[in-house]
Amino acid sequence: MPERTVEAFLAHLAVERGSSANTLRAYTNDLDRYVAYLHDRGLDDLAAVRETDVGGFVAALRSGPTPLAASSAARALAAVRGLHRFAAREGVVPVDVAKAVTPPAQPGRLPHTLTVDQVEQLLAGCVGDGPAALRDRALLEILYSTGARISEAVGIDLDDLDPGDRTVLVRGKGGKQRIVPVGRPALAAVDAYLVRARPAFAAKGTGTAALLLNARGARLSRQSAWHTLRGAADAAGLDPTAISPHTLRHCFATHLLAGGADVRVVQELLGHASVTTTQIYTHVTVDALREVYATSHPRARG
C-alpha cells in the first residue's frame, strides 16, 4: 500500500533530514492527494505506478474545478518525486519512475524595484541618533550599496569590511565569497554606527565578530533585518507590502544596469552566476568592479 511508504518517507524527512513542521505538513497534504489520485485509478502498489501516472497527477492538479497554481503543483511534484526516490532507494520499487517528470512552467515575474528617488526616501525612513536607528541605517545602506542578500548582510563580520579599499567581503550561497565595492554614503553610515552605536550593543553581549548587532549584543538576525526594512518603508510612506527582502538587491542591479553597467559585472557583483557563468567572469578584477561601480551606482560617490 502506498500509505506505508508515505509514512516511512515522512518519518525519514522528520528524523534523518530534520525537515520543519511546515515542510512536513505540506508534504503530508500533497502526498495524501497523490495517494487518493492513485487509488482512484486502481493503483494500490507504488511498483505499479508509471511515469505517465505521475505526469497525469501533475496535469490533474492544474485542471478541474479548482486548479492549483503552477508553483503549488511544482511543490506537490517535489513531494511525489521525493517519495519515489525514497521508495527506489529503499527497494520498495525497482526504479524511480518520477525522476524524469518535470514541473509545470512558472509564469515569468519581474522583480519589484524602486526608483532612485524611492530608495532615497526609504533610506530617509531610518531617522534618529539612537543606537538602533544608526544600525538600521547602516544595514539599509549596506543592502543597497552592495546588492547583498539580507542573510549575507547580517553575516558580515567586522574584519570583512575594508574602509580604505572601500570593499566588503560577502559570503554567499554555498560558502562562495565575493568582494564587492561599497559606496561612500554606506561607509559613512557604517562608521557612524561603529562609533556611536555598536559599542553599546556589544557591551550587552559576550563578544562577537559580527558587524551588525542586536539589542542583546548578538549578531542581528535575518528576521530582524527584514522587519527593519519593512519598518523603514512604512516610516518613509512607501507600501511595506511591496517591499521584500530582495527589494534593495533588485534595486542595486536595476540601477547599475540603468547607469550603463555591463550585465556580466552586475552578475559578478551579485554572486548570481552558475559555475559555468562564473568562469566567464574570472577576468573581471576587483579594480574593474570598483571602476564600473563608481561610474554606474547612484550612491557610489558622495
Task: Tell me the per-residue pLDDT of 12-32, one tens digit each, with 9 for 90 and over.
Answer: 888 887 878 888 899 999 999
Active site residue 249: yes
For residue range 281-295, what is the model confidence (pLDDT) as tens digits?
234 445 666 777 777
- Whether residues 44 and 173 fall in one domain: no
User: How high does pLDDT run on average in the chain?
Assistant: 86
Which pLDDT score is estimated for 104?
79
Name the catalytic one among 178, 249, 255, 290: 249
Torsion angle defined by CA atoms of residues 143, 146, 152 and 154, in that order, rounded to the nearest 10 degrees: -50
User: How many angstroms separate the CA atoms of 48 and 30, rounded?
Assistant: 20
Domain that holds residue 6: 2-89
Residue of 33, 85, 184, 281 with catalytic role: 281
- Asked if 136 and 279 sit in the same domain, the reply is yes
pLDDT of residue 37: 93
Q: Which CATH number do you get for residue 236?
A: 1.10.443.10
In this predicted structure, what is the pLDDT of residue 271? 84
Please tell me the pTM assigned to this model: 0.60
Residue 192: predicted pLDDT: 96
Tell me how far apart the alpha carbons of residues 245 and 155 are, in angstroms, rounded to a whole number. Answer: 15
> Catalytic: which of 33, 246, 250, 264?
246
User: Which CA distances in Å does 206 have to 130, 156, 209, 212, 244?
Assistant: 22, 18, 10, 14, 32
User: Do 211 and 274 belong to one domain?
Assistant: yes
Q: How far apart are CA 171 and CA 199, in angstroms?
A: 24
Active-site annotation holds for 193: no
Percent of the chain beyond pLDDT 70? 90
Q: Averaged over 206-211, what is the pLDDT?
A: 94
The helix (H) or strand (E) run that includes residue 169 is: strand 167-171
Question: Is 281 noted as a catalytic residue in this protein?
Answer: yes
pLDDT confidence of residue 258: 65
47 in a structural domain: yes
User: Residues of the chain with pLDDT > 90: what percent?
Assistant: 55
- The verdict on 160 and 267 lying in the same domain is yes
DSSP 265: H
Question: CATH no. for residue 44?
Answer: 1.10.150.130
Q: Are residues 145 and 82 in the same domain?
A: no
Q: What is the structure's pLDDT at 106?
A: 63
Structure-model confidence comparison of residues 272 and 144, the more confident one = 144
Provide the grid cell at 213: 548587532
Name the domain boundary from 89, 106, 140: 89
Q: What is the model's pLDDT at position 287?
A: 60
Lowest-confidence pick of 245-249, 268-272, 288-292: 288-292
Catalytic member of 112, 173, 176, 227: 173
Task: Tell whether the model's pLDDT for residue 278 goes beyond 70.
Answer: no
My answer on whether 259 and 155 are in the same domain is yes
Does residue 57 sit in the same domain as residue 187? no
Spell out the residues 6+ positions from residue 243 whose beta carbon is closer than 8 angstroms to its own: 122, 229, 230, 233
- 142-151, 235-244, 275-284: segment of lowest average pLDDT: 275-284
Domain count, the chain: 2
> Cα separation of 133 and 127, whole Å?
6
Same-domain check for residues 42 and 132: no
71 in a domain, yes or no?
Answer: yes
Told to judge if 149 belongs to the known catalytic residues of this protein, a careful annotator would answer yes
pLDDT per position as a tens digit, 42-101 = 998 999 999 999 999 999 998 877 888 888 888 899 999 999 999 999 999 999 999 888
pLDDT at position 273, please? 54
**C-alpha cell of residue 46:** 507504488
Q: Is residue 264 part of a domain?
A: yes
Question: Quick check: 276 pLDDT over 50?
Answer: no
Determine, yes or no, domain membership for 101: no
Residue 283 has a pLDDT of 40
* Residue from 81, 84, 135, 149 carrying the catalytic annotation: 149
